[in-house]
Copies of this chain bind each other. A is one copy, B any other.
């Protein structure tokens, strides 16, 4: 429960209309009475007829006087701030469950929480304020930074390093062996003796997997966000601030720059290099290196404009054939 003037102040926005009290947040498609609804952009005027008591909209939003409206510079950031305001994170006092299994040689920082049936291996170091949830299994000689959330049933193999502020969602696996064999009548396994190094503030979605390197490291840069069910191969290097959407697969030894955005279900071949600030459309298959600031789409992937032409061309193929047949008949 908060007044609209209080919310406007929180968001650095400008309130027009009555200073109501509102009870919560709702989304444009599911507006509830008494709540404030965040309109993402200036085109969302059709959502103004919903049940919400007030709206938040971008500063350039159209003239509107029916209900109270707060104009803000960044609607998405405002949405995030509002969520934090209405749903403050419950901080439970730290505790170590006596049902967890923690090696005598593990080192836990201040205010670390370890839930039931979590396992922490020999020589592993857990940073202050981190939370290891139930059923998470952390191997030996692992380093986990401060304020991390290692959710239930996560597995971290030996020797992995994870920075501060990381969130590994349930079922994530870090440091399993990569897919490497010497093929033959009997395939010989290539041992994976390297590790995985994850930077600060990395979030990895449920049931994703990051393989360990053969030698040296598989690297995920700080601030990179990875969605659910993503596969990161051995010796992959991912830069800072990337977004990798659900069910992508990045082949072994691929090198992804900084601030790259990879859509859902994309496949990237092993050893491919993707320049920083590039965008790869969902379901693409990337088999070759691409430079910085490239936009690619399709399978096999081509520059986005080219891909648009291919799609348009495909749609007009039967038209093309008809025209050709007509031409043939005129001869």
Say whether A320 faces chain B, with CB atoms less than 8 Å apart: yes
A328 interface neighbour in B26, B191, B243, B327, Cβ under 8 Å: B327
Which residues on the B side are within 8 Å of A267 (C-beta)?
A: 247, 264-265, 282-283
What is the interface size of chain A, counting residues whose CB is below 8 A from a CB of the partner? 107
Apart from A27-B216, A179-B243, A309-B317, 15 more pairs, CB < 8 Å: A27-B235, A83-B215, A86-B193, A101-B116, A117-B119, A135-B135, A151-B176, A155-B170, A209-B229, A228-B231, A265-B265, A283-B299, A302-B315, A324-B324, A327-B331
Which residues on the B side are within 8 Å of A117 (C-beta)?
A: 101, 116-117, 119, 135
Q: Would you give the shortest CB distance from A220 to chain B, in whole angstroms?
A: 14
- Residues of A in contact with B (beta carbons under 8 Å apart): 24-27, 29-30, 74, 76-77, 79-80, 83-84, 86-87, 89, 97, 99, 101, 115-117, 119, 133-135, 137, 151-153, 155, 157, 167, 169-171, 173, 176-177, 179, 181-183, 185-193, 201, 203, 205-209, 211, 214-216, 223, 225, 227-229, 231, 233, 235, 241, 243, 245-247, 249, 251, 253, 264-265, 267, 269, 282-283, 285, 299-300, 302, 306, 309-311, 313-318, 320-321, 323-324, 327-328, 330-331
Q: Tell me whether A134 and B137 are in contact in the complex, defined as CB-CB below 8 angstroms, given that A189-B203, A225-B181, A321-B313 are known contacts.
A: yes
Q: Would you give the shortest CB distance from A303 to chain B, in whole angstroms?
A: 11
CA distance A64 to B38 in the complex (A): 67
When the two chains form their complex, are residues A269 and B247 in contact, meaning their CB atoms are under 8 A apart?
no
Which residues on the B side are within 8 Å of A223 (C-beta)?
A: 186-187
When the two chains form their complex, are residues B191 and A171 in contact, meaning their CB atoms are under 8 A apart?
no
Say how many copies of this protein the assembly contains.
3
Q: Tell me whether A231 and B233 are in contact in the complex, defined as CB-CB below 8 angstroms, given that A119-B117, A137-B133 are known contacts.
A: no
Q: Would you give the shortest CB distance from A19 to chain B, in whole angstroms?
A: 23
Q: Tell me whether A176 and B205 are in contact in the complex, defined as CB-CB below 8 angstroms, given that A155-B151, A265-B265, A313-B314 are known contacts.
A: yes
When the two chains form their complex, are residues B249 and A187 in contact, meaning their CB atoms are under 8 A apart?
no
When the two chains form their complex, are residues A179 and B134 in contact, meaning their CB atoms are under 8 A apart?
no
Q: Tell me whether A317 and B324 are in contact in the complex, defined as CB-CB below 8 angstroms, given that A119-B116, A187-B225 are known contacts.
A: no
Q: Would you give the shortest CB distance from A173 to chain B, in whole angstroms?
A: 4
When the two chains form their complex, are residues A179 and B330 in contact, meaning their CB atoms are under 8 A apart?
no
Which residues on the B side are within 8 Å of A177 (C-beta)?
A: 167, 169, 203, 205
When the two chains form their complex, are residues B115 and A216 in contact, meaning their CB atoms are under 8 A apart?
no
Q: Would you give the shortest CB distance from A110 to chain B, in whole angstroms?
A: 24
Which residues on the B side are within 8 Å of A151 (C-beta)?
A: 155, 157, 176
Which residues on the B side are within 8 Å of A227 (C-beta)?
A: 179, 231
Q: Tell me whether A179 and B215 are in contact in the complex, defined as CB-CB below 8 angstroms, given that A29-B253, A119-B135, A223-B187 are known contacts.
A: no
Q: Would you give the shortest CB distance from A266 to chain B, in whole angstroms?
A: 9
